[in-house]
Amino acid sequence: MASLKEVRGRIVSISSTQQITKAMKMVAAAKLRRAQDNILRMRPYAQRLSGILANLSSMTEGSVNSIYTEKREINNVLIIAVSSDRGLAGAFNSNIIKGVVSLINEKYSRQYAAGNVTILTLGRKANEAFRKRGYNVVGDFTGVFTNLSFDTVREAAEFAMSGFATRKYDQVDIMYNEFKNVATQIVRTEQFLPLEEKPVEEDASAMMVDYTFEPSKEEIIEELIPKSLKIQVYKAVLESNASEHGARMTAMDKATENAGELLKQLKLTYNRTRQAAITKEILEIVGGAEALASK
C-alpha cells in the first residue's frame, strides 16, 4: 500500500491537472463559438458560389474548357491533409493521419509504390507525423492556424492548383474534419482537382437563372473556377478549425471528469491508509502498555 505522503502527492498533482483541463475546456469553448460562427457564415457562400458555377456550366455548350477540369491518367497524386497545430484534442489529428494512410493504401497504392504520392499538410501535427513516417511532404503551411485568414489559406490552394496546372500532379484530394457538433467531427475526403462538373439538379442552389453576361459566359467561368477552388480549401480549413475546438472541448471535459473520479478513489485510499496508520499506532501503544503492566 502506498504511503500517506505518496497518496497526498498524487492528490495534489491530479487536482492541479484538473484545474488545467477545466481552464482548457473554457478556452476551447470560447474559441469554438467564434469558429462555429465563421463556418456557418461560410457554408451558404460556398454553396451558392458552387451553385452559380454549376448553373453557368450547364448553360455553356459542351463541357467547360479549363485546365482545372482536365481529366488525365492518374500517375502523380497530391493529398492535402488538414490537421491542427496543437494536440490534446482526442482523436482529431490521429483520424486525419489514419485516413490519409488508408486512402493511400486503398486508392493510390500503385502511385505510392512508384514514389508518386505527395502530401501537403495544413497543420503542424500532420506535418510532423507524415515526415516521421517517411512520406513525401511538400510546402510549408504549418502555421496557417496561427493567423487564420483567407490570404494564408489561399497560398496553399494556389500551390496545389499550380502543381495541377503544370501537370506535376494528375489528381489532388483534400481530407479534413467536418464540423457537425461539439461532440461529432466527420472525416471528409473530397476530390479537389480535377474539378468535377455538377449537374444542376444535384445542387438546390443552382436553379436556372436568366443571367446577363458581361463579359462572356466562358470568361466568367474561367474567373469563377479558381475562386471556387480557393473557397473550397478555405471552407475545409474553417471546418477543421471548428472541429478542432469542439474535439478539444470534449476531450478536456472528459479529462476533467476522469480526474474527478481519480480524486475520489485517491481520497478514499488516503482515508483508508490514514485509518490503518492510526489503528496501527493505537495497537502499538496498547501492546506497549500491556507489556509494561505484565512486568
Asked whether residue 234 is assigned to any structural domain, the reply reads yes
Predicted local distance difference test score (pLDDT) of residue 291: 75
1 pLDDT above the threshold of 60: no
Coil, helix or strand at residue 273: helix
Mean pLDDT, residues 38-48 taken together: 87
Same domain, 128 and 245: yes
Predicted local distance difference test score (pLDDT) of residue 64: 60
Q: Which of 201, 222, 228 is nearest to 60 (CA)?
A: 222
Residues whose CB is less than 8 angstroms from the CB of residue 3 and which lie 6 or more positions away in sequence, other chains included: 273
Asked whether residue 293 is assigned to any structural domain, the reply reads no
Same domain, 159 and 277: no
Number of helices and strands in the chain (H, E): 6, 5
Q: How far is Cα 241 from Cα 289, in angstroms, rounded to an integer? A: 71
Asked whether residue 161 is assigned to any structural domain, the reply reads yes
- 126 Rama class: left (phi>0) / alpha (psi -120 to 50) / beta: alpha
Q: For residue 262, give the amino acid letter.
A: L
Predicted local distance difference test score (pLDDT) of residue 56: 67
Mean pLDDT, residues 83-102 taken together: 92
Per the structure, the count of domains in the chain is: 2
Query: What are the grid coordinates assigned to 59, written together?
Result: 448553360
Mean pLDDT, residues 130-156 taken together: 87
| E strand spans, the chain | 77-82, 117-122, 136-138, 171-181, 184-193
Predicted local distance difference test score (pLDDT) of residue 205: 46
Predicted local distance difference test score (pLDDT) of residue 289: 75
Predicted local distance difference test score (pLDDT) of residue 295: 65
Predicted local distance difference test score (pLDDT) of residue 244: 93
Residue 184, domain extent: 24-251
Predicted local distance difference test score (pLDDT) of residue 117: 95
Predicted local distance difference test score (pLDDT) of residue 130: 94
Same domain, 146 and 261: no
Same domain, 9 and 98: no
Q: How far is Cα 256 from Cα 14, in angstroms, rounded to an integer? A: 10
Same domain, 42 and 169: yes
| E strand spans, 66-126 | 77-82, 117-122
Q: For 262-289, what is each residue's pLDDT tens digit?
A: 999 988 988 888 888 788 788 878 777 7
Asked whether residue 294 is assigned to any structural domain, the reply reads no
Same domain, 66 and 168: yes
pTM: 0.82
Same domain, 82 and 96: yes
- The CATH number for 30's domain is 3.40.1380.10
35 pLDDT above the threshold of 60: yes
Asked whether residue 258 is assigned to any structural domain, the reply reads yes
Same domain, 96 and 127: yes
221 pLDDT above the threshold of 90: no
Q: How far is Cα 134 from Cα 175, in angstroms, rounded to an integer? A: 19
Predicted local distance difference test score (pLDDT) of residue 206: 45
3 pLDDT above the threshold of 80: no
Alpha helices in 108-216 (DSSP H): 109-113, 124-132, 150-165
Same domain, 238 and 267: no
Question: Is residue 193 a contact partner of residue 186, using CB atoms and an 8 Å limit?
Answer: no
Decide which of 111 and 139 is more confident: 111
161 pLDDT above the threshold of 90: yes
Question: Is residue 171 a contact partner of residue 194, using CB atoms and an 8 Å limit?
Answer: yes
Coil, helix or strand at residue 142: coil
- The CATH number for 275's domain is 1.10.287
Asked whether residue 295 is assigned to any structural domain, the reply reads no
Predicted local distance difference test score (pLDDT) of residue 211: 63
Same domain, 187 and 258: no
Q: How far is Cα 18 from Cα 115, in angstroms, rounded to an integer? A: 46
Q: For 178-210, what is each residue's pLDDT tens digit?
A: 998 888 899 999 999 888 766 544 444 445 556
Q: How far is Cα 288 from Cα 31, in angstroms, rounded to an integer? A: 65
Label residue 2 by pLDDT band (50, 70, 90): low
Same domain, 196 and 50: yes
Describe the crossing of helices 4-59 and 217-294 by its angle, rounded to 10 degrees. 170
22 pLDDT above the threshold of 60: yes
Average pLDDT over the chain, rounded to whole?
85
Predicted local distance difference test score (pLDDT) of residue 28: 92
Same domain, 79 and 198: yes
Cell 480535377, located at residue: 194
Mean pLDDT, residues 129-144 taken together: 88
Predicted local distance difference test score (pLDDT) of residue 259: 92
